[in-house]
Amino acid sequence: MTGVEHNPTPPGTDPDGNTRRPGTFASLRIRNYRIYTLGQSISVVGNWMQNVAVGWMTLQLTHSGTMLGLVIGARYLPVLLFGAWGGLVVDRHDTRRLLALTQIWFAAQAALLTVLSAAHLVTLPLLIVIMLTLGLTNLFDGPARQKLISELVAAEHLTNAIAVNSTFVNTAKLLGPGAAGFVIAALGVAPCFALDTVSFLAVLVSLAMLRTSEMHPAEREVRAKGQIRAGLTHIRRTPELLYPMSMVYVTGILTWEFPVSLPLLTTSAFHSGPAGYGAATALMSAGGVLGGFAAMRRRHLSTRSLSMSALIWGALICAAALAPSLPVALALLVLVGAGSITFNASAKTLMQVGAAPQMRGRVMAIWSIGWMGGTVIGAPTVGAIGASFGPRNALFAGGVAAAGVGFLVLLLTSAGRRATGPGG
């Protein structure tokens, strides 16, 4: 096994050195990854059912979009404030055991919401507190999930594994909200929380079934001073991390605010109402699945290819913002969804491969601060752009940000290649 780890079979070749194209689902042939992915996929469907139920319950309690934003922001605030520390905790502990603990805590919180909603005891302050505790759990759960992927598959399968993971998550985004809408209409919100509670058992069972002898655990960090700063320094001094991370932060804050920009576009620009927003969300998720399939087949990744992905993604978003009619916008949003997963999966792969193994938790936690925690800053910013300059510009600004940062990094990497010369 040591020989395989230090001299892996090059991607695109078999053990005899013959050229081949990797299968779309190559990583799913690995038992540990296949079991974990199945369990996580079930859980993600439950998570999206809970997300829809929380939003519906908030609107029922407050009839206020502002309060809905406050509840959503409460879930991401801990990641924004303490994300790097959460990643350090992940680097210091056994990833699988830590994930088991977060699943138990998530299940307990979902069970509490089940009881409170069934008894009609939920209040806005109580809901905000619960969302904050969910956010605190996400400090460890998010980076641990990302890090575990690299421990379940060998390096040559990591790109495919991350793409498969992104595709399954987007498929769950299609199934979860639809299932939640049906359950809420028929039975109310409490069963959504109950189903989410049960869904965490799937992850716990999958974690228990993993064969540790077939895993690739990273060396754990020993407690010492300055380790969060060391993680930041590692990113700053590693161009393979710094450039992708910079693009993630720009797009995470300004571009990935579709829950704000899409309602503005569909309802205010095209006057289509909730049906138009629902169609836009569903088609973007469907595009994300298609983008995931494309990413699974990808063989070569680099900062340059990531910057091209950002540039193309941004151009598609701008085109959707300027679309002359809703049908044209919806067609373009399918491509936007595909571009979002292509970009996100590529960025995560580059950072997982480029990070020192003992620092992957911190690197992916810092990624989550920009990609998810940035919503706390980005959502009101994009909303303000829409209110001040028109609904189309809320989406257009995100497209300009993605294309702009992609073009800038493309220039920087091209300049670096010219400076080092052909042999650099």
Burial of 5 (0-12, 13-18, 19+ CB in 10 A): exposed
Confirm whether pTM is higher than 0.85: no
Helical pair 360-368 and 124-152, crossing angle rounded to 10 deg: 140
pLDDT at 420: 59
- For each of the domains in the chain, give its residue range(s) and CATH number, in order of start: 24-216 (1.20.1250.20), 231-415 (1.20.1250.20)
Contact 27, 153 (CB under 8 A): yes
pLDDT in tens, 68-108: 778 878 888 898 899 999 999 999 999 999 999 999 999 99
Residue 13's DSSP bridge partners are 19
pLDDT at 40: 93
pLDDT at 332: 97
Task: Please tell me the distance from the alpha carbon of residue 225 to that of residue 247, in angstroms, as a whole number.
Answer: 29
Residue type, 61: L
Contact 106, 141 (CB under 8 A): yes
pLDDT at 417: 66
Task: Please tell me the distance from the alpha carbon of residue 136 to that of residue 128, in angstroms, as a whole number.
Answer: 12
Give the CA angle between residues 55, 368, 361 to the nearest 5°.
Answer: 135
Contact 349, 300 (CB under 8 A): no
Listed as ranges, residues in the chain with pLDDT below 50 are 1-19, 423-424
Phi, psi of 272 (to 5 degrees): -100, -15
pLDDT at 21: 52
Phi, psi of 322 (to 5 degrees): -100, 5
Give the CA angle between residues 120, 121, 123 to the nearest 5°.
Answer: 115
